[in-house]
Structure 1
Amino acid sequence: MIDPATLRTDAGDPLPLDVPRPFVQLVTVTDADCDRQRHVNNAVYPRWMDDAAYAHSCAVGYDWARYQEMGASFVVRRHEIDYLGEALAGDRLVVATWPKAMAKFNAERRHQVLRLSDGVVMVRAMTRWVFMDIARRRPRRIPAEMIEAFQQSVDTGSDHI
């Protein structure tokens, strides 16, 4: 796991993260991530956000095997994405994510994607998830211990998510 406090721009400045200590992953943009305009295709960002969300889940003890044991998993209900900058092949990006709210059957996760070299924000996004019973295909209550695991894993600058 990467400590976001250790990440610095090329000028040595701390990254302008929206929350003090989100879960972070590093991504290097490849040619395959880019479209005909030679910048990252807008459809690639949700994949990176999903990859970071799953890595965060694994880091707090909820990998696919654990979800299968529980007979439940999160599914996306909605994405809202603001595209704010242009990333190019070779750029190193920081994909930051954190849970904003988790209650009953629903979870909201925030994302921020920044260029590591200069700290420019490429994307800010929100994803709404529903915790689903896999066999019944119906919403299921998020276990309290799962909410606690996610709450303890990040610092969002407030007392609760």
Structure 2
Amino acid sequence: MTWDLEAPFIIDLQVQAADIDGFGHANNAAYVVWLERCAWRHSQRLGLDLAEYRRLDRAMAVARHEIDYLASAYEGDELQLATWIVDCDKRLRMTRHFQLIRSSDGTTLLRAQTTFVCIELSSGKPKRLPPEFLQGYGPAIVTV
């Protein structure tokens, strides 16, 4: 695969019948679910799972998605979705880049960027990134 950046975190996906819309290709909502799944699995790999979020009373919540749909995915397609943390202001915000590639032909189907804001779970209000988040997410930041 030709990835946009080095050292991606990758998950494998297969387009299911439930992902297909009335036009016969994967619905745009399925892509958003896949982005969330990939980001969450990457966070877990970095040691920041739901139990740790709850212990710290902090979470990274989506503030903005920017998605470029470049080509369609179809039922049965095998896909690889990569993510990279490309920015963190070390206070409140973190940005991830995503790239989705169809395995059979190497076509990039999607590029996306998601901005996350650190929130306090108990109040839902923005709160500073705790040191544990900086330790977990910090080493994963890729220079663009």
Q: For residues 102-141 of structure 1, give each alpha carbon's deviation from its aligned partner in whole angstroms, at most 9, with x where no partner exists.
A: 1211111111101011110000001111100112222111
- 1:74 equivalent in structure 2: 60
- 1:16 equivalent in structure 2: 2
Question: Helix, strand or coil for the counterpart of 2:28?
Answer: coil
Q: For residues 71-124 of structure 1, give each alpha carbon's deviation from its aligned partner in whole angstroms, at most 9, with x where no partner exists.
A: 011111111100001110110000101111112111111111010111100000
Which of 18, 30, 37 does residue 44 from structure 1 map onto?
A: 30
Determine if the alignment matches structure 1 residue 97 to structure 2 residue 83.
Answer: yes
Tell me the TM-score normalised to structure 1 length: 0.84
Which of 58, 63, 67 does residue 44 from structure 2 map onto?
A: 58
Tell me the TM-score normalised to structure 2 length: 0.93
Q: CA deviation at 1:145?
A: 4.0
CA distance in 2, matches of 1:97, 1:77: 17
Q: Any runs of at least 4 consecutive aligned residues in structure 1 with deviations exceeding 3 A, and if so which?
A: none
Determine if the alignment matches structure 1 residue 108 to structure 2 residue 95.
Answer: yes
CA distance in 2, matches of 1:144, 1:99: 17
Question: Helix, strand or coil for the counterpart of 2:21?
Answer: coil
Question: Helix, strand or coil for the counterpart of 1:147?
Answer: helix
Gaps spanning 5+ residues in structure 1: where?
1-14
Tell me the C-alpha RMSD between the 2 structures: 1.4
Gaps spanning 5+ residues in structure 2: where?
none
